[in-house]
């Protein structure tokens, strides 16, 4: 039995409470002036220390290798969890050569500064805190085997074909998609690579990821910073590779198919191709009826295209931005509006994998508001017939259109009401005329 009189006293190490570590114990505490059972929840069990050494050579899982070797982050421990000194030896037959040591006792992992060489054999030995340095215990013996993965894979939901499908990262001024706005995760695949027996972790070489536009191979984009966390890798800091071999300040990739490859000094490792871009919509078939009170009846029509085809995408529904009720309609269903500029919110689905998203598409009434059609406005003088011809057309508004030909002082010469364009045959070479026009609303 042991009696403590203060907190400071029981925090001090007491030789009377030191017990052999190879046995298990149960400790119960009872106040000296207390009669009865030990205090509730005061029982503590201490298991025997077995001193089974465990280790990892890749503590933190962040180190990437060179092609001739790699650094190691070595951590050894037993159930005693004491700091350790580390000693690394290269083994050549029966001869061992010390190549690195930690020097001081290390409470956590030892980040060895020595590069362990490909196909070489090593022994790591440790000395626990409180033990003489001559009492080295073998932690692990290993040969640093090397093999490259068969490929690197990106999950479908992390590919650019998924992240850019809804237009994420698009910059209209740059005319491309910001590759740094996508997901960075990817993984290693060892399919088809023969297994080897080794006591260190598989080799993940230092690398860059290169994306090359198939339609314009001179456009290359490079993930210049690749890091790892255990088996997961991250591609970041994308830059455009310029013709002179330098890197641009950013990476805005134009729409298109891209080949991907992991470039290492040990050899290139393939990756799946990817696609950057979103669906595009041709609204030219849309019809608009304009009423005289300024109301437009719009019937949206057009084809949604993705990767050069309309077969894999469809518009499931849409609504007009700014509609207080956000009324959802089927594509092709008419709606009324007094707005001359608005945005269509399209609910889009990719059939091949079921991915859905919402796209914003601007719409302007500029082609449907009453105005002169400049593409059909011309005048000419036919010398062979002696005729002057003025051709004029309105667009938008509410047909039929009434055109009035006048002299420059406003005297009316001729008036015509027609559903479309009009021709006036009048005047001689060099004469000038004034034309005014209205639609059925005026």
Q: What is the pLDDT of residues 343-357, one digit of tens each?
A: 999 999 999 999 999
**280-364 sits in which CATH class?**
mainly beta
158 phi, psi to nearest 5 deg: -100, -5
3-state helix, strand and coil shares in percent for the chain, rounded to the nearest 5: 5, 45, 50
Would the pLDDT of 37 be above 80? no
Percent of the chain with pLDDT over 90: 50
Question: Is the Cβ–Cβ distance between 225 and 184 less than 8 Å?
Answer: no
Instruction: Give residue for tokens 């962040």.
Output: 62
- The answer as to CATH 1.10.287 being correct for domain 54-143 is no
Question: Is the Cβ–Cβ distance between 206 and 264 less than 8 Å?
Answer: yes
- How far, in Å, are 51, 80, 127, 156, 416 from residue 139 at the CA level? 12, 15, 10, 41, 102
| Per-residue model confidence (pLDDT) at position 52 | 84
Which of these, 199, 203, 58, 71, lies nearest to 123 by C-alpha position? 199
8 phi, psi to nearest 5 deg: -60, -35
Mean pLDDT, the chain, whole residue set: 87
DSSP state of 180: G
Mean local confidence (pLDDT), 303-307: 93
Confidence of residue 13 (pLDDT cuts 50, 70, 90): low
Q: Which two tokens stand for residue 324?
A: 């207080």
Q: Are strands 232-241 and 220-229 parallel, antiparallel or unpaired?
A: antiparallel
Cα 140 to Cα 55: distance, rounded to the nearest angstrom: 8
Most confident option among 46-60, 80-94, 288-302, 368-382 = 80-94
Question: Is the Cβ–Cβ distance between 105 and 83 less than 8 Å?
Answer: yes
Mean local confidence (pLDDT), 122-132: 93
Q: Which residue has better confidence, 367 or 346?
A: 346
Q: Which residue has better confidence, 195 or 305?
A: 305
Q: Which two tokens stand for residue 88?
A: 């690394």
Contacts of 84 (CB under 8 A, 6+ apart): 76, 77, 102, 105, 106, 110, 126, 127, 128, 129
Most confident option among 41-45, 284-288, 390-394 = 284-288
Would the pLDDT of 385 be above 90? no
- How far, in Å, are 65, 170, 213, 308 from residue 255 at the CA level? 34, 10, 9, 11
Q: What is the pLDDT of residues 157-202, one digit of tens each?
A: 999 999 999 889 999 999 999 999 988 999 999 898 887 766 655 5
The string over 256-295, giving b where at least 16 C-beta atoms fall within 10 Å of a residue's C-beta and e elsewhere, is bbbbbbbbbebeebebeebbbbbbebeeeebebebeeeee
Question: Is the Cβ–Cβ distance between 432 and 410 less than 8 Å?
Answer: no
Confidence of residue 421 (pLDDT cuts 50, 70, 90): confident
| Per-residue model confidence (pLDDT) at position 219 | 97
**371-438 has which fold?**
Immunoglobulin-like (2.60.40)
Mean local confidence (pLDDT), 30-43: 68
Q: Which residue has better confidence, 4 or 335?
A: 335
Question: Is the Cβ–Cβ distance between 318 and 347 less than 8 Å?
Answer: yes
Q: What is the pLDDT of residues 227-266, one digit of tens each?
A: 999 889 999 999 999 999 999 999 999 999 999 999 999 8
Sign of the alpha-carbon torsion through 328, 334, 337, 339: positive
Confidence of residue 33 (pLDDT cuts 50, 70, 90): low
Cα 327 to Cα 48: distance, rounded to the nearest angstrom: 71
- How far, in Å, are 43, 65, 339, 348, 424 from residue 364 at the CA level? 79, 56, 9, 21, 32
Instruction: Give residue for tokens 């889009």.
Output: 348
Cα 327 to Cα 344: distance, rounded to the nearest angstrom: 12
């Amino acid at each position: 039995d042991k009696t403590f009189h203060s907190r400071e006293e029981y925090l001090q190490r007491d030789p009377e409470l030191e017990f052999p570590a190879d046995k298990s114990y149960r400790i119960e505490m009872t106040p000296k002036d207390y009669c009865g059972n030990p205090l509730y929840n005061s029982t503590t069990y201490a298991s025997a220390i077995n001193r089974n050494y465990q280790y990892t050579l890749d503590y933190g899982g962040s180190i990437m290798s060179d092609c001739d070797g790699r650094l190691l982050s070595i951590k050894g421990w037993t159930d005693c969890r004491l700091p350790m000194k580390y000693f690394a030896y290269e083994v050549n037959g029966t001869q061992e050569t010390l190549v690195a040591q930690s020097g001081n006792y290390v409470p956590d992992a030892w980040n060895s500064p020595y590069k362990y060489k490909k196909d070489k054999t090593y022994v790591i030995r440790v000395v626990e805190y409180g033990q003489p340095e001559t009492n080295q215990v073998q932690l692990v013996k290993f040969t640093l085997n090397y093999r490259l993965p068969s490929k690197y894979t990106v999950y479908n939901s992390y590919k650019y074909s998924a992240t850019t499908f809804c237009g994420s990262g698009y910059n209209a001024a740059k005319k491309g998609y910001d590759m740094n706005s996508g997901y960075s995760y990817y993984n290693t695949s060892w399919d088809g690579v023969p297994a080897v027996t080794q006591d260190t972790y598989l080799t993940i070489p230092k690398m860059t990821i290169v994306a090359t536009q198939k339609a314009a191979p001179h456009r290359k984009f490079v993930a210049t910073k690749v890091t790892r966390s255990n088996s997961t890798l991250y591609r970041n800091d994308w830059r455009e590779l310029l013709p002179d071999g330098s890197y641009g300040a950013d990476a805005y990739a134009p729409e298109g198919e891209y080949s991907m490859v992991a470039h290492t000094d040990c050899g290139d490792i393939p990756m799946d191709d990817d696609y950057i871009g979103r669906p595009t919509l041709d609204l030219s078939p849309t019809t608009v009826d304009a009423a005289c009170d300024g109301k437009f009846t719009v019937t949206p029509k057009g084809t949604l295209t993705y990767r050069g085809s309309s077969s894999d995408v469809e518009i499931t529904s849409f609504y007009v931005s700014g509609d207080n009720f956000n009324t959802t309609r089927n594509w092709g269903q008419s709606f009324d509006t007094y707005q001359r500029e608005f945005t269509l919110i399209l609910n889009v689905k990719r059939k091949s994998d079921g991915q859905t998203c919402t796209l914003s598409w601007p719409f302007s009434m500029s082609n449907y508001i009453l105005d002169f059609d400049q593409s059909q406005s011309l005048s000419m003088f036919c010398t062979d017939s002696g005729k002057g011809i003025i051709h004029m057309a309105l667009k938008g508004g509410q047909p039929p259109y009434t055109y009035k030909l006048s002299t420059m002082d406003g005297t009316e010469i001729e008036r015509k009401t027609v559903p479309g364009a009009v021709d006036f045959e009048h005047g001689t070479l060099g004469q000038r005329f004034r034309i005014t026009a209205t639609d059925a609303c005026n």
